[in-house]
């Protein structure tokens, strides 16, 4: 490797660290200070409302059992593998869902419907309920790993 290529490689590595790794470290520290350990991130009532919204808007692609159909799985082993591989955060997943779903009419549901659907997915996947409903603000305190649902 010549000097110019080595210099470019080192510059790219530094850029990667600055853009990708440092913000995650600082954000995690800020979040840790404001999150309650062991708290749940949706209410059972919200999950129940989310089930109705899911059945009306999502089940045709993701299936009633959330194991996927023409859309990807939102539960079970395939979902657990996806979460493990991508390390997607709840904030990212909720933002994607709110902007891109349903596939035939992206972003057309009310914010409350997206939050309720997300609560239903969390409940179905055995994440711990709590006293606060799903909200974009509260998602930074939740981790999808380790996956609590059944993976078979």
* Rounded distance between C-alpha atoms, residue 44 and residue 61, angstroms: 24
CB 139 within 8 A of CB 124: no
Per-residue pLDDT, 6: 44
Per-residue pLDDT, 7: 40
Sorted by sequence, the CB contacts under 8 Å of residue 71 that are 6+ apart come out as 58, 61, 62, 103
Q: What angle do CA 51, 53, 65 make, to 5 degrees?
A: 45
- Return the CATH number of the domain spanning residue range 39-141: 1.10.760.10
Per-residue pLDDT, 141: 82
Mean pLDDT (10-residue bins), the chain, 152 residues: 46 41 41 62 95 97 96 95 94 95 96 97 94 84 87 64
- 3-class state of residue 40 by DSSP: coil
Per-residue pLDDT, 96: 95
Per-residue pLDDT, 3: 52
Q: What is the dihedral of CA 117, 120, 126, 132, to 10 degrees?
A: 90
Answer yes or no: pTM beyond 0.85. Answer: no
Per-residue pLDDT, 38: 61
Sorted by sequence, the CB contacts under 8 Å of residue 70 that are 6+ apart come out as 61
């Amino acid at each position: 490797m010549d000097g110019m290529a080595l210099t470019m490689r080192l510059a790219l590595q530094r850029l990667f660290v600055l853009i990708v790794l440092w913000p995650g470290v600082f954000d995690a520290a800020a979040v840790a200070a404001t999150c309650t350990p062991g708290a749940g991130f949706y209410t059972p009532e919200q999950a129940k409302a989310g089930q109705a919204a899911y059945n009306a808007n999502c089940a045709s692609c993701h299936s009633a059992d959330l194991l996927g159909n023409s859309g990807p799985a939102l539960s079970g082993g395939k979902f657990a593998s996806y979460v493990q591989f991508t390390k997607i955060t709840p904030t990212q997943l909720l933002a994607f869902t709110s902007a891109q779903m349903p596939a035939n009419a992206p972003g057309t549901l009310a914010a409350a419907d997206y939050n309720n659907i997300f609560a239903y997915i969390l409940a179905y996947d055995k994440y711990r309920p709590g006293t606060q409903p799903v909200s974009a603000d509260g998602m930074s305190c939740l981790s999808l790993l380790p996956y609590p649902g059944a993976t078979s």
